[in-house]
Structures are given as structure tokens and as C-alpha cells.
Amino acid sequence: MTSDSTDDSTQDESFTDETAEQPRGRHRPRTRGGRIALGTALSLIVIASVWAAATFYGTWSRSDGEPAQVIVATWMRDNHLGPVVAQLEDLYYSYVDTPDVGGAPTLSADITAEDTAGLTDAVEDTVSIPANPPQPEVTQDAGASESRPLPLTPVARDTRTVRAPSITPSPEPQGADPNAGSNAGLSSSEPMERPHLTPPPPITSPVVTPEPKEGQWQPVASRVDGIPAIYVTRVRADDVHTSYYASVMWIDTLLTRAVLIPGYEEPGGPNPYDGALPEELWPDVLANVNGAFRLDDSRGGYYYEGTTVRPLVKGRASAVIYKDGSVAIGEWGRDLRMTPEVSVVRQNLDLIVDGGISQVSNGADNVVWGATTDKESLAWRAALGERADGSLVYVGSPYLSAESLADVLVGAGVERAIVLDMNNWWTAGFYFRHDKNGSPLCRKLDPAIQENCDRFLRPYKRDSFQFLARRDPAPGLTGQTSAIPSDAASLPDQPSTTP
């Protein structure tokens, strides 16, 4: 009995009670469903990581020397994360890259030293246009139905109202050096064989005591048959951040012709020049500046040499280049319409200046002209405006709000203006001297502009506006013209055919 009882007790203890509570610190075996869920999550993480690495490598490999933060921002925008980038950049400009308040500029408003730096007897001061300049070769783009050369010969138009130019040099401010300032390089006794426009009056500084030469237009770049076609000035944009200048460029549209060079990535569509100004035209280049936003961010359309890359949007700010190289800035459908003479239409957001009046009502409106910054954030910004005489004004500078950008344009006498690209890598303007061989010698509009000075001469990923010396105007082309033809009401907003 005793033996049987002992055996039974031993036998009972050898069994395991599966329903008993497991010791703490030990986990129950995972169910089949849990293992599947975990495996799926890990697989998705691996796939996402591989996708992110592959796409980021693609963005990095296409970079043109941009810093890491620009490459990351580009990659995020390429992958529909633009709103996140906008918020991050807003924080950056609000708390990291903030401008000083008060103070005096360290940059000189006298452009002479920058314009003449490195000039020797080997430099040709005047661009003389040959009777038959070389025609640049173009490459056939896979996305274009036809490649077209840059328009070299002015084409007379009879669809727009012509205004006669003024050829009187602008008066010197009292006390100004007669050999400098707004009409330096021009002589009252020198015969004016070519029609040209008068530089604007000086821009009034918002600061009570301006710096020497502040707001005064100074001739720069190579002359066209001895006449300055490009003028530059610097002026404070507001009376708070007084240690910074807005750099402003004025372009005589009777002495120049405009060309849009599409970048090899933006804005898409035909790309006959691989994002570069053909070298055959380097002897003619007087200035070039950045183009507009990425097409996906522009809220507008784009038309290039017979190809509608994206349908044009009524009401959007538009820069139109005609086949004769003239330019008009205005609102599409109101000021500008499609005509047979239109070569390029680049749209971007809304007009920031309209009728000579700033369209920015307050600091919070900054987001309307660029989602990167909001409220009081100040950033690199650019714009291109048209004056009543048809001349153009470009502004591209750091620490500008939309409001101060518009104020500078209005101060320069601009009637209508379109916002161009922004932020410190994409805002860039340059002007050029030439040596006797016709090779361009580049100057930055603002010394703080990033990257090399020949950015828009060589293959580049984004579009640029190029301003070249114009040959003698063809008969009938005697001045810059108004934006709307007399029969505008009968003209379509879009081209009749889309290749």
C-alpha cells in the first residue's frame, strides 16, 4: 500500500498543468497570425527603405553640386512631401537663418568695383553684332515634335501697339559724379545711332540717410554698339533690416532680346539645348537670371515653341516671350493672349505687382507667392517686372518678404511683375562683360549668390531667362509694345493645336 501510494504521488507530480499560470517574465508563444503581421511589417519597412534609398540616390546623382539640405528637399518634393518641406523651411527661416535688425550694409552700393574687376586692355567693352551671327545647333529632344533654333532675327509684328522709345539719358542727381551714376558711359555729345530706353529714376531708399550710390542706377556689362543695356542698383528693402540690400537689375528691351532656356529637368517638355545657352551665343549674352518655380508648384501652365507642356491657366501671372525676342509680363487672359507671334509662355502664381500697385496686403500673404515661407519669414526671393516703357526689372536678393519684394519693384516703376524661383540656391542673377575673343566675364548681381557664375551658360536642371544683345531692329520694330493686341477678344487663351 505504501509503495503504491508513493508511486501514485510520484506519477501525479510528473504531469504538467497546462492551465497553470506561467511564471512572470516569460511570454506565451506567438500565434500564427501575430507572426504573419510581424513579418509583413518588417517586409514593408525593408521595401520602403530600399525604395527611399533608390529614389534618393537618383535625386543625388542628378544634383548639380547642391548642398545636402537642397538635395533632401528636392527628393521630398519629388515624392509628394512638398508641404512637409514648406513647414521645415518655414522653421529654418524663422529660427535659424534670421536677419539682423538695424545696422549698416557691409556690401557697397557702388557697383563700379564689381563691374570692372579684372578688366584689362584685353577686354572688349562693346558688343558689336555681326551682320550674320552664327546659328546655334540644336539637338532633337525626345519629347518635342520639332526642334527650333533660337530666334536671331527680329520679326516685325503688327498685332500689338507700338510705342516710340526715349533716347534721352536720364538726368544726373544733383551732386553726382558726371562720369558715374545712371548715365555713366553715355555722352551728350555722342551720336545716338540706335534707339534705346531711358534708365528709370533712382529708387528712393526707405532709410532716412541712404548710403552713397544707394538706389542710383549704374551701367554695367558690355555695351551694345557703345550704349549700356544693363543697369544695376542696390537699395534697402525696408527700414528694419537695414544691413541688407536688395540688388536690382534694369534691362533695356530695345537693345536686348530675351530667350528662355529650358532646364534639362524643369519645367519639362522640349529641351533642345540641354539646359545650356549655346556657346555660339556667349559673345552676345549680357545677363541671365533664374526661371520660375517647378512646374508642379507654379499653379500655372507652360508653352514652349509650339508645344503646350501644360495647359495655360487664365488669371495666372505670365511671362511671354515673342518670336522677335521681346517680353511682356501680365495676367493671362486679361493682359496677354495666345497669338501666332508667341514663342514662350511661362506662368507662375499670381501677379505680385499689378497696375503699379503691390498685391501683398500684409506679411501673412507671403504664402500666396511661395509656400516656403509664411508670415514674417524672410528668404531669398526673385521676381521679373515690366515697366510702362517695356523695359524689364529683375530683383533677386536675400532676406526679402513678399511684401518687401513687391515694394522694391514698385519703387523701380514696375507696372506688372511675376514671381520667379526662391530660396538661396535657386535665386541667381548674373551680368557679363566680354574679352576681345567674345568670351563672357561673369559678375554676380549679389556676391552672396550660391554656386558658380556660369551656372546658366552650361547645362543646368532648371530654366533661365537669357538677355542677349539685339541686332538693329527690323523695319516696323521701333519700340517695346503693349501686351494686348487690338483684337484680343477674338484670340484664344490656348494655342489652337498642341503637338
Residue with cell 503504491: 4
User: Tens-of-pLDDT digits for all 499 residues of the chain?
Assistant: 444 544 554 445 444 555 455 555 555 556 777 777 777 777 777 776 776 676 665 666 666 666 665 666 566 666 656 566 566 666 666 667 678 899 999 999 999 989 988 776 545 566 665 544 444 544 444 443 333 344 433 333 333 333 333 322 333 333 334 333 333 333 333 445 789 999 999 999 999 999 999 999 999 999 999 999 999 999 999 999 999 999 999 999 999 999 999 999 999 999 999 999 999 999 999 999 999 999 998 999 999 999 999 999 999 999 999 999 999 999 999 999 999 999 999 999 999 999 999 999 865 555 565 554 444 578 899 999 999 999 999 999 999 999 999 999 999 999 999 999 988 878 999 999 999 888 999 999 999 998 888 999 999 999 999 999 997 664 444 333 333 333 333 345 666 444 3
- CA distances 5 to 11, 14, 17, Å, are 10, 14, 21
Q: Is the pTM of this model over 0.85?
A: no
Residue with cell 524661383: 421
| β-strand pairing of 317-322 with 440-444 | unpaired
Distance, in Å, from the CA atom of 369 to the CA atom of 351, rounded to the nearest integer, reads 9
Cα Rg of the chain (Å, integer) = 30
